[in-house]
């Protein structure tokens, strides 16, 4: 109901009623118009009176007792309706968060429409305006009720309960002036209409800006993150908003569920944008790929068209050559020229279609006619030019070896096999060698190996097995060695037989027979060094030593045949063995020179004699230091005699030097043994170990004692002799003891060398290290 109606004064209403009564005065029963049903004559309906603005509470309206009762009922109903209207208006003002400015802070203003019982009660309780209570700190508005979400218990998920003081009601001007209690701050009406204008302006992100941002962050690849920390599994696209709800609750941000849903919608929109962008890029890449594929297919189509045209032309050429072959007009030159032209024009198709094989199929019948009745041993140059032509033609083919080899084996090899098997003899290698030299540039490697293995080696094996050096006049090396460059190590299977045949005739050989040297010497570089030295030691050196021992040095009547026999073998015998043979000669030579110098000779004759012998010694020996030493010893004797000094007897100086060196070594050995024994607590002297002294010991005994002091084994090797001397084992090395000349020789690698006792120990240690 409007407030103007509530504020009307009853007095004014009474005056209005009086006027109405005056207007109706003088009316009797039935004066007015027709009355509604249920009313008496002359009475209006109460509702009709309301519509006409007439007040029903006029005391003069119904003067009778019945009228008073009706009037009181009407007034009560009117008051109830006004109170109900007022309460509805008050409730609407509280729900919308607004109140009239004039009622702001006036709690009891509504009492002017009542008898004021409410205000009286408030004043008795100390209310003077503002808040309730003595200090005006109480609330005026009723407690606000807040609806809790459905099925949500108290304390669930940190839910904020409604405050006791209504947040939607603002304090009056008087209450604002009152001091606020500590710790209580007024809350902002975050969702009121007047606060909506304070919202920040929204920033919108376009799809292009979003994609650029994701690319900068490296998020082109979208990955899902499953958050399983709560009661339900959450699916996130990134970790940016992982703890957004906790942060919202900590900062007391209103409506976190709504904000979470909004973020989820934004994330889904971002995912859609990224997916669309990714699909768009894939489509663009697909377009580029298809374009490249299209270009590739065009190139393939062009290339295949070109190949097809080339094939058609090749087929036409091959068909033409086939027709010429059937007619018998085809020649090797025309065939070669045709295929050479095809190779220059269509090199790829030539290799792809293996046209070389087709060319060979046309050429084989023509080659057979060319080489029919050909003897390669008698006329090796036949067909060289035509084969060279076809070799050059087929050289560009990747399968040249197989194609050209097939042509050679079908055309040339049959003639070689027939001539080599029926005509060629191993003792006459020149015809076959001449053929191989002529065809060297035209022979395929596999064909050459076939000729050597199937023709040459069988013939050589048969010839070596039947070779007898006592009856053969042709040296075996003359028909075996020419095959060394071609066969190489394959001939080693024949060497054992050749050595046995040579050794079988050397038992009866005498150094005066020079044929043995001419037969053996070519094999020095062919046989391995150990096998060659074994032949020399067993069959040659002992006989040369015997000849040298028989040789007489006689200046008056010198015969040099035996010396020449020995000198012939200088290049064949290992140098250390040759030095031993020459020592026998120089011992005799120095003794004759000593006797001659002691008889007051003619020094010019002696000088000529010396120079003559020096010229007889081969250059290979003169370059050796030991030979020069022996010649210098003779020269020193000549100088002593020329100066009138006493000539030292040959060997005396060496013996004295050797004895002095032996005594020195024995003294050093004694000192070393004494030091070793002192360290071990032993008091035996070296002289006691030697059995009372070393002055009367032989060279062999000295070596034996030296081996004992070095913890080495010294014993003879049964059955082994070297130049007539017993071979001994000194630890791991082999030695011989020349007691006559007081010398020790040790075997080092492939020769025997003169050594001292100290060198023996070093050699033995070196051999042990090598074996390890």
| Burial of 174 from C-beta contacts in 10 A (0-12 / 13-18 / 19+) | middle
What pLDDT is attached to residue 28?
39
User: Per DSSP, what are the bridge partners of residue 743?
Assistant: 738
Cα–Cα distances in angstroms (integers) from residue 531 to residues 495, 500, 527, in the given order: 10, 11, 6
- CA distance linking residue 137 with residue 165, whole number of Å: 11
| Burial of 514 from C-beta contacts in 10 A (0-12 / 13-18 / 19+) | exposed
Query: Which of 587, 596, 674, 672 is closest to 638 using CA atoms?
Result: 596
Query: Which of 177, 168, 117 is closest to 143 using CA atoms?
Result: 168
| Burial of 630 from C-beta contacts in 10 A (0-12 / 13-18 / 19+) | buried
Contact 610, 638 (CB under 8 A): yes
DSSP 329-355: ---HHHHHHHHHHHHHH-HHHHHHTTH
Contact 60, 18 (CB under 8 A): yes
User: Any residues with CB less than 8 A from the CB of 531 and at least 6 apart, and which?
Assistant: 495, 499
What pLDDT is attached to residue 91?
57
Backbone angles phi, psi at 447, to 5 degrees: -70, -40
Residue 149 three-state SS: coil
Alpha carbon distance, N-terminus to C-terminus of the chain: 128
Which of the 8 DSSP states describes residue 507? T
Secondary structure element (H or E) that encloses residue 755, with its range: strand 751-755
User: Any residues with CB less than 8 A from the CB of 733 and at least 6 apart, and which?
Assistant: 746, 747, 748, 760, 763, 764, 767
What pLDDT is attached to residue 330?
85
- CA distance linking residue 754 with residue 736, whole number of Å: 10
pLDDT in tens, 482-494: 999 999 889 999 9
Q: What residues does each domain of the chain span? A: 3-98, 207-295, 652-771
- CA distance linking residue 243 with residue 29, whole number of Å: 88
pLDDT in tens, 738-767: 877 778 888 877 778 888 888 888 888 887
- Write the Ramachandran bin of 77: left for phi over 0, alpha for psi from -120 to 50, otherwise beta: alpha
| Cβ burial 137-172 (10 Å sphere, 16+ → b, else e) | eeebeeeeeeeeeeeeeeeeeeeeeeeeebbebbbb
- CA distance linking residue 708 with residue 706, whole number of Å: 5
Cα–Cα distances in angstroms (integers) from residue 255 to residues 90, 135, 188, 196, 249, in the given order: 29, 36, 15, 16, 9
- Write the Ramachandran bin of 191: left for phi over 0, alpha for psi from -120 to 50, otherwise beta: alpha
Note the pTM of the prediction, 2 decimals: 0.48
Low-confidence ranges of the chain (pLDDT < 70): 1-67, 88-116, 129-146, 151, 154-203, 217-224, 230, 234, 236-251, 395-401, 651-696, 718-719, 724, 769-772
User: Any residues with CB less than 8 A from the CB of 309 and at least 6 apart, and which?
Assistant: none
User: Per DSSP, what are the bridge partners of residue 737?
Assistant: 744
Query: Which of 615, 531, 621 is closest to 577 using CA atoms?
Result: 621
Query: Which of 385, 302, 316, 386 is closest to 345 using CA atoms?
Result: 316
Contact 707, 731 (CB under 8 A): yes
- CA distance linking residue 492 with residue 197, whole number of Å: 113
User: Per DSSP, what are the bridge partners of residue 730?
Assistant: 714, 733
Secondary structure element (H or E) that encloses residue 768, with its range: helix 757-771
Angle between helical axes of 603-616 and 575-598 (0-180°, round to 10): 170
HSE of 338, CA atoms in CB hemisphere, 13 A = 24
Query: Which of 135, 143, 141 is closest to 178 using CA atoms?
Result: 135
Contact 119, 112 (CB under 8 A): no
Secondary structure element (H or E) that encloses residue 234, with its range: strand 234-236
Query: Which of 630, 551, 654 is closest to 622 using CA atoms?
Result: 630
């Amino acid at each position: 109901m409007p407030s103007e109606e509530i504020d009307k004064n009853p007095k004014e209403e009474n005056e209005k009623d009086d006027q109405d009564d005056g207007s109706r005065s003088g009316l009797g029963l039935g004066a007015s118009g027709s009355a509604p049903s249920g009313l008496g004559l002359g009475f209006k309906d109460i509702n009709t009176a309301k519509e006409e603005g007439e007040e029903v509470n006029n005391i003069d309206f119904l003067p009778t007792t019945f009228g008073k009762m009706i009037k009181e009922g009407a007034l009560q109903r009117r008051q109830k309706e006004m109170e109900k209207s007022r309460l509805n208006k008050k409730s609407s003002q509280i729900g919308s968060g607004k109140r009239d400015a004039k009622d702001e802070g006036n709690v009891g203003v509504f009492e002017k429409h009542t008898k004021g019982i409410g205000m009286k009660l408030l004043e008795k309780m100390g209310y003077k305006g503002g808040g309730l209570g003595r200090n005006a700190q109480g609330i005026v508005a009723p407690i606000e009720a807040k609806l809790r979400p459905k099925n949500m218990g108290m304390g669930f998920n940190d839910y904020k309960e409604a405050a006791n003081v209504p947040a939607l009601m603002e304090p009056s001007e008087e209450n604002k002036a009152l001091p606020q209690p500590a710790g209580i701050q007024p809350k902002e009406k975050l969702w009121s209409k007047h606060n909506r204008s304070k919202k920040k302006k929204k920033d919108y992100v376009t799809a292009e800006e979003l994609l650029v941002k994701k690319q900068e962050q490296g998020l082109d690849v979208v990955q899902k993150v499953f958050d399983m920390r709560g009661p339900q599994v959450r699916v996130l696209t990134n970790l940016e908003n992982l703890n957004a709800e906790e942060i919202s609750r900590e900062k007391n941000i209103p409506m976190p569920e709504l904000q979470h849903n909004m973020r989820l919608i934004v994330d889904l929109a971002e995912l859609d944008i990224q997916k669309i962008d990714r699909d768009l890029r894939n489509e663009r890449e697909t377009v580029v790929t298809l374009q490249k594929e299209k270009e590739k297919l065009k190139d393939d189509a062009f290339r295949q068209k070109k190949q097809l045209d080339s094939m058609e032309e090749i087929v036409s050429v091959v068909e033409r050559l086939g027709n010429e072959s059937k007619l018998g007009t085809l020649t090797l030159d025309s065939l070669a020229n045709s295929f050479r032209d095809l190779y220059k024009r269509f090199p790829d198709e030539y290799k792809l279609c293996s046209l070389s094989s087709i060319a060979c199929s046309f050429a084989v019948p023509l080659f057979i006619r060319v080489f029919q009745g050909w003897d390669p041993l008698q006329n090796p140059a036949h067909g060289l030019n035509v084969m060279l032509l076809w070799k050059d033609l087929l050289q560009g083919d990747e399968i040249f070896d197989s194609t050209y080899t097939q042509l050679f084996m079908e055309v040339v090899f049959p003639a070689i096999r027939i001539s080599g098997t029926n005509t060629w003899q191993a003792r006459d290698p020149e015809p076959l060698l001449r053929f191989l030299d002529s065809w060297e540039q035209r022979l395929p490697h596999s064909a050459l190996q076939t000729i050597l293995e199937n023709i040459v080696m069988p013939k050589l094996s048969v010839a070596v097995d039947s070779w007898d050096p006592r009856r053969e006049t042709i040296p075996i090396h003359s028909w075996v060695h020419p095959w060394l460059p071609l066969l190489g190590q394959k001939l080693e299977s024949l060497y054992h037989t050749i050595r046995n045949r040579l050794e079988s005739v050397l038992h009866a050989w005498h150094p005066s027979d020079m044929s043995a040297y001419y037969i053996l010497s070519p094999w020095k570089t062919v046989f391995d060094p150990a096998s060659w030295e074994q032949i020399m030691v067993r069959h040659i050196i002992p006989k040369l030593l015997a000849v040298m021992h028989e040789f007489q040095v006689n200046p008056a009547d010198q015969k040099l045949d035996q010396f020449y026999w020995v000198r012939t073998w200088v290049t064949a015998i290992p140098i250390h063995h040759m030095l031993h043979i020459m020592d026998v000669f120089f011992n005799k030579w120095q003794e004759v020179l000593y006797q001659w110098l002691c008889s007051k000779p003619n020094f010019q004759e002696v000088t000529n004699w010396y120079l003559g012998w020096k010229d007889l010694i081969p250059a290979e020996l003169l370059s050796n230091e030991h030979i020069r030493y022996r010649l210098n010893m003779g020269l020193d004797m000549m100088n002593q005699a020329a100066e009138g000094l006493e000539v030292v007897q040959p060997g005396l100086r060496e013996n004295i030097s050797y004895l002095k060196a032996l005594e020195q070594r024995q003294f050093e050995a004694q000192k070393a043994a004494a030091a070793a024994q002192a360290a071990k607590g032993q008091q035996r002297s070296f002289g006691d170990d030697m059995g009372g002294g070393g002055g009367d010991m032989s060279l062999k005994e000295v070596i034996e004692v030296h081996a004992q002091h070095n913890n080495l084994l010294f014993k003879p090797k049964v059955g082994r002799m070297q130049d007539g001397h017993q071979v001994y084992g000194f630890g791991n090395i082999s030695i011989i003891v020349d007691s006559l000349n007081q010398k020790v020789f040790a075997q080092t690698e492939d020769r025997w060398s003169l050594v001292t006792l100290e060198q023996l120990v070093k050699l033995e240690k070196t051999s042990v290290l090598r074996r390890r």
